[in-house]
Structure 1
């Protein structure tokens, strides 16, 4: 639940943002590579082979230069230095531009021998009318995904496909059609370099066996695996246990062996609130830096999928979904110590 129509046209040119990322690193006094190299943390799998790509055009990178106060700029600088998923939505990157965005990001990442991370978020009736409502009609949606897949081609990238779409399906109209549409979208990436993870909810949402059924029906056998905790704040250990349970259910109940997982840890530094709230929850903190996981049969690594500092929606005083919210960015960094 990250990007929304409010961000249409807000991307700057890639020339402009080269200067931005240089400034961010200088201000931070940090080497970006220290936060993005996975190989040094061990582990096998496709995520341990190269650095993760840091997007120089992120809202955090802009805020690091343009924030109104020193506290806002400092917090944004910390966030901009971490590799975070680039969210593709039809509102921000409509048909005709989505492919250009992907091609530009992948080309920039290739020159740095880095691995970009995308979250594809444009399914029909997205978020089932909640804070991140939107998306495209089915035929237009699949054509948009085709454009993204074609732009990626054989070049490697992590793709987290449709956050919340499967776990939310039982609460939406036509859940079977929703699952089938996710499966159709996944199939568009066949033959590309995508390292695909279907979204798999989180440990405090659906039971592992129910989530496994949804994933199986959506074609997870054709993906690397699934992602958990996207835009949520469950603890890493809870998600690790949950991911193992989902993988076991996939194997035992559906004959799908070897499914892997990644966990979004971007805002789970303080864990979840006691009341189970998720939308712009106060008192949270950024989580550990992205890294590969060593010696785990299921978990490939932990990622920053939800960009910290971007609102979940108009709740708890936040702006519309996907907009930069300086107050939250400062709190997330401060609470992490």
Structure 2
């Protein structure tokens, strides 16, 4: 697992630190004739101040931090996974905004700034957040992507740090790309098919309504790091809040990272989330402190979780090769 390519995450470094570290990563990748995947995670109010809360204090501070990332990358190749949960989990979604939507407006300003700054680099591709196919409908997330500046980005990513199947993530990406194209041609995103439509109906709608050539449509990447067995379903009626995204038991590593996807819009399967790092303290609606599914106190978000790491390896689909 450790020898499989994974994203490099930045989020708590100072501008000077992130510039130096990003420069070292892209130079090292260039020597190996590889393209690094860099996940940026420093937007103000990230994760609605929950398990992975933090981020820059102000928009100006965030913009200075993005400028430092851009200086570090320079003319080297890089794929940027821009701010997981930044669009799927806006300040307005978690009661952290005022009635004028000040913080949500700032979030869009911050994401747009990052897109404009990083996508303008000669060999950098930027992908925006969509959450995952079990969260927002296509008609819900596409307006957020449009407002977030997807028109200027290479595309978007889905399933970051989640467990949705490869099939579901691929289809979700296809639907989102089609809906963006339809909206850019003047259509209403609300008319697009979402992931809950019968597939044949959605395919027919796309054939009838999306006239944009593939060469002009937005691309996408998915996170396959922990989706080998798909999402966990909690026992019926057991928990008031099952937190199916939080260190679910019995999951396995998914497809290995690759740019060979067989779909011209599907740029890569990636390991965005570092498998083996905890999702946080999972209480599932109980008083805790133990995770009732595991009988242990889960490590804090981002900390190493040895038991879960071994689980992911043992249950990997496809299985990991023996070394």
Give the TM-score taking structure 2 as reference length: 0.76
Matched, 1:126 2:46: yes
Unpaired runs of at least 5, structure 1? 1-78
Instruction: Note if contact 1:154-1:191 (Cα within 8 Å) is conserved in structure 2.
Output: no
1:323 pairs with 281, 285, 303, which one? Answer: 303
Q: Which residue of 2 aligns with 1:88?
A: 10
Q: Which residue does 2:223 correspond to in 1?
A: 264
1:279 deviates by 1.0
Give SS of 2:27's match: helix
* Distance (whole Å) between structure 1 residues aligned to residue 74 and residue 279 of structure 2: 31
| Partner Cα distance (1:297, 1:109) in 2 | 24
Q: CA offsets per residue over residues 236-260 of structure 1, 9 Å max, x none?
A: 0001111111111101123384100
Aligned to 1:112: 32
1:274 paired with 2:194, answer: no
The alignment partner of 2:30 has SS state of helix
- State yes or no: 1:295 paired with 2:262: yes
Q: 3-state DSSP class of the match of 1:198?
A: strand
Give yes or no for contact 2:119–2:153 (8 Å, CA) kept in 1.
no
Q: CA deviation at 1:129?
A: 1.2
Alpha-carbon distance between aligned partners in 2 of 1:278 and 1:176, rounded to the nearest angstrom: 27
- Out of 221, 234, 246, the position equivalent to 2:151 is 221
Question: Does the 8 Å contact 1:226/1:262 carry over to 2?
Answer: yes
SS of the residue corresponding to residue 14 of structure 2 reads coil
Is residue 276 of structure 2 the alignment partner of residue 309 of structure 1?
yes
Residue equivalent to 1:100:
20
SS at match of 1:114: coil
Corresponding residue of 2:63: 142
Paired residue secondary structure (2:128): strand
| Higher-Rg member (1/2) | 2
Query: 2: distance between equivalents of 1:185 and 1:99?
Result: 15
Structure 2 distance, partners of 1:294, 1:280, is 28
Q: TM-score, normalised by structure 1?
A: 0.73
CA contact (8 A) 1:231 1:305 kept: yes
Shift of 1:305: 0.2
Matches within 5 A, 1:9-48: none
Q: Tell me the distance in 1 between the aligned counterparts of 2:224 and 2:178.
A: 22
Match runs of 1:194-273 below 5 Å: 194-255=124-185, 257-273=216-232
CA RMSD in angstroms comes to 1.5
Q: 2 CA distance for matches of 1:185 and 1:116?
A: 18
- Per-residue Cα deviation, 1:71-118 (whole angstroms, up to 9, x for no partner): xxxxxxxx211000000012xx22210001001111111111111110
Unpaired segments ≥5 residues, structure 2: 98-102, 186-211, 235-242, 283-290, 292-296
Task: Tell me the distance in 1 between the aligned counterparts of 2:35 and 2:126.
Answer: 13
Structure 1 residues 315-324 or 237-246, which shifts more?
A: 315-324
Deviations 1:269-297 (Å, cap 9, x if unpaired)?
11001247101111111001011234313
SS at 1:151 equivalent: helix
Q: Hey, what's the Cα distance between the residues in 1 that align with 2:83 and 2:247?
A: 20
Q: Deviations over 1:124-148 (max 9, x none)?
A: 0010111100001211111011100
Aligned length: 257
Distance 1:231 1:307 in 2: 8
Greater shift, 288-297 or 131-140, is seen at: 288-297
